[in-house]
Structure 1
Amino acid sequence: MPNQVKTVSQTRVVLAQVAMPGDANPAGNVHGGTIMKLIDNAAGVVAMRHTRRNVVTASIDRLDFHYPVFVGNLIILKACLNRVGKTSMEVGVRVEAENVMTGEIRHTASAYLTFVALDADGYPTNVPELISETLEDKRRLAEAVERYERRRCTNCRR
């Protein structure tokens, strides 16, 4: 049933992929666009898991790259739902790169994306409510509400 209430943990996703030479520049650094695509994919899975519907990316609120990812690293994407509105939802994604030879893990990027759920005709439709279970979930919700309010204020000035 698409509109049942769900918890953050029910939609949490962890995806992993080895960075290959085709993902990188000649120096062995993975392209930012490759990381962006992986982020969008992970976040989209979270949104679809929550709504059990088709979803579209409406915006990327923020994307920060902290460290490079290199060929051979294991790219780990941890994504979860932060906030839901009537038809939209914010997903947070944390990207880590693991050197599989040493076990060192670095936080390489973070992003916040907004998705809209679509009905069978391709129109925005209501999304299930979200229950924040843990203190971490509640912190992420509060921060997501702040980002939403900032976006609303920015959009009001247009």
Structure 2
Amino acid sequence: MLSIRNGVTIEVWQGDITRLAVDAIVNAANVSLRGSGGVDAAVHQAAGRELLAACLALRGSTVGDVRVTPGFALPARWVFHAVGPLWRGGDEDEAGQLAACYRQSLLLAAEKNVASIAFSAISCGANRFPPLAAMNIALRTVEECLQTPPPALKRIVFVAFDEQVLRAWQKLLVGIS
């Protein structure tokens, strides 16, 4: 699935985000930034021990915030650690907090002169955010940000690690190109 918005290619890819050769990957982190489980653990394992040391130096984060470290042993130069919300039914500003993760990641992309960025399915794993709702927020937020895209940005990849997230993307993107 591929589309272009204001000169930026947007694609959905199924697989392991730690193997993508992009300038930055967006890790679905938790507030401790310690690589607890899921994609966060995979990113920490693939990046090597230096990533944990860099994350510990950041002294944690908050929900809706994004912190940056080098990618170390990853193909990506940068890791943006986005702390997504825990799904509590949708009445506690989960949508706003999730949108903030995508918005702040694209602000960091501009700051770091990133040409390509890959987003994990933030909050869709252990945080139990419904994938279709989360992907809808991701796409809407990214499209809003692409009204004035970061100058260097040319490619955005939404990574679906599992079939459930891939199906959500497919359902959302039917007929959009």
- Which protein has the larger Cα radius of gyration, Structure 1 or Structure 2? 1
Answer 1 or 2: which has greater helix percent.
2
